[in-house]
Amino acid sequence: MSEKPLLLDSDRRFRNIVIESVGKEVFNCYQCSKCSAGCPVAFAMDLLPHQVIRSVLFGKKEKVLSSSTIWICASCETCTTRCPNEIDIAQVMDVLRQLQYESGCLTPQPKIPILHSTFLNSIKKTGRVHELSMIRNFSIKSGDLKEKLKKGTWKNDMKLAVKMFLRGKLKLFPHVSKGVKDVRTLFNQAQEHKKT
């Protein structure tokens, strides 16, 4: 009788993508939980950082990519600093966010990936963040604008925007950074790297 494989092909592929991106150190995880104990936002996560690493090693793609944890992670790198095995858990979270974004899996935090992409698009366009257009695009794509128009709460946002504008904290038009070409090259290189 043939033995059931430990990991299905798709699970193995998922695990390998993560390991190739962050390094083989991930295999050294012995589940000491030091990463989770130091994480400042662990209280809000549905999977703790050490559980994410364990799930990655077991190729649990759906479980990991549909968890709120990867979008709640604030990339503070406390976990990475605390890990006795030099596993870059913060980078694992980063790779998982990208995989989740590309796979289109459902997430309990659907607005965070939208914020993530509007932020990156803003940087790609001008080389720096233009808050006003970023918030406008986010509000439209996430459905926030529709909701606020319905409830009438958009007026509060307008009042705040005017205050910020008067204090010089909000620019009407984007300022294009001198290094915008270099920034775009970085984006293109990252895109090319993903294809290889």
Q: Hey, how many other C-beta atoms are within 10 angstroms of the C-beta on 48?
A: 18
Residue number with CB closer to ligand SF4 (33 or 98): 33
Which parts of 23-52 interact with ligand SF4 (CB under 6 A)?
29-35, 38-39, 41, 49-50
Among 73, 96, 114, 123, binds ligand SF4 (CB under 6 A): 73
Instruction: Provide the CA 70 distance to its chain's centre, in angstroms.
Output: 6
Q: Is the dihedral of CA 92, 93, 97, 103 positive or negative?
A: positive
Nearest to 99 by CA among 129, 55, 134: 55
Residue number with CB closer to ligand SF4 (82 or 128): 82
Nearest to 108 by CA among 61, 48, 44, 59: 44
The reply to whether 89 sits near ligand SF4 by the rule CB under 6 A is yes
The terminus-to-terminus CA distance of the chain in angstroms comes to 38
- In whole angstroms, how close is the CB of 21 to ligand SF4 at the nearest point? 15
Segment interacting with ligand SF4, rule: CB under 6 A, options 15-23, 77-85, 138-146, 181-189: 77-85
Applying CB under 6 A, the residues found at the interface with ligand SF4 are 29-35, 38-39, 41, 49-50, 53, 73-79, 82-85, 87, 89-90, 93
